[in-house]
Amino acid sequence: MDYLDEIKTSLKNNPNLNDEIRKKIFDLIIVIHRKLPNVDLARLNNKIKSVKIGKISKLERKGNYFYDIFKNEIQFSANIKGDYDIDNLFMQALLQMTTSTDTFTGFNSDERLHALNLAYTEILATYLVGNEGDSDLEEEMLVTNLLSHIVGKDTMFNSYFTNNGEPIIKAMQDAEVKL
């Protein structure tokens, strides 16, 4: 199902967003739809209807952005330091919304996959919109890239969008077995 028209309506009817943010979000969603045409946007559409944009201080949470799954809020740091690509950060948040369940996003069904999930989100975001700024997850992305050669890129992708981390863990465990 093509959700773009519905998403446009959902954005328009969300009172928490201004026109500039609506346009930015919609432009980024078009990129997801074009580059990942088989990804289901139903959950994203649902989240878009009420998503808020907020700010967090360093005292509340470290990092430059955070998607609060329980509040359905994209939170940007009030003290962003360094040169960050806001489109990349927004795209990461949208990917988390696209893959959100009630309690986690992506393949973080198992807490062991927490850092891997964050890094994979940034890798996907960078694939979609590039990154002309700094990254806080370079080392984590390095490891994720290496693990993708072991687990398989398709397995990681499917695990991310089906919220199931088990195939990743199983593939790593299988790789431990020597001949």
Would you tell me which residues interact with another protein (CB under 8 A)? Answer: 62-63, 111-116, 118, 136-137, 139-140, 142-143, 145-147, 149-150, 169, 172-173, 175-179
User: To the nearest whole angstrom, how small is the minimum distance from the Cβ of residue 68 to another protein?
Assistant: 16
Q: What is the C-alpha separation between 90 and 8, in angstroms, rounded?
A: 17
16 within 8 A of 53, measured Cβ to Cβ: yes
User: To the nearest whole angstrom, how small is the minimum distance from the Cβ of residue 154 to another protein?
Assistant: 13
The single-letter code of the amino acid at 67 is Y
Which CB atom, from 27 or from 139, has the smaller least distance to another protein? 139
User: To the nearest whole angstrom, how small is the minimum distance from the Cβ of residue 111 to another protein?
Assistant: 8
Which CB atom, from 71 or from 153, has the smaller least distance to another protein? 153
The single-letter code of the amino acid at 33 is H
Which CB atom, from 51 or from 89, has the smaller least distance to another protein? 89
User: To the nearest whole angstrom, how small is the minimum distance from the Cβ of residue 110 to another protein?
Assistant: 8
Which CB atom, from 51 or from 137, has the smaller least distance to another protein? 137
Say which DSSP state 16 is in: T
Location of structure tokens 């370079």: 138
User: To the nearest whole angstrom, how small is the minimum distance from the Cβ of residue 98 to another protein?
Assistant: 22
Which CB atom, from 45 or from 148, has the smaller least distance to another protein? 148
Helix, strand and coil content of the chain, in percent to the nearest 5, comes to 55, 10, 35
100 within 8 A of 43, measured Cβ to Cβ: yes
31 within 8 A of 130, measured Cβ to Cβ: no
Q: What is the C-alpha separation between 73 and 47, in angstroms, rounded?
A: 9
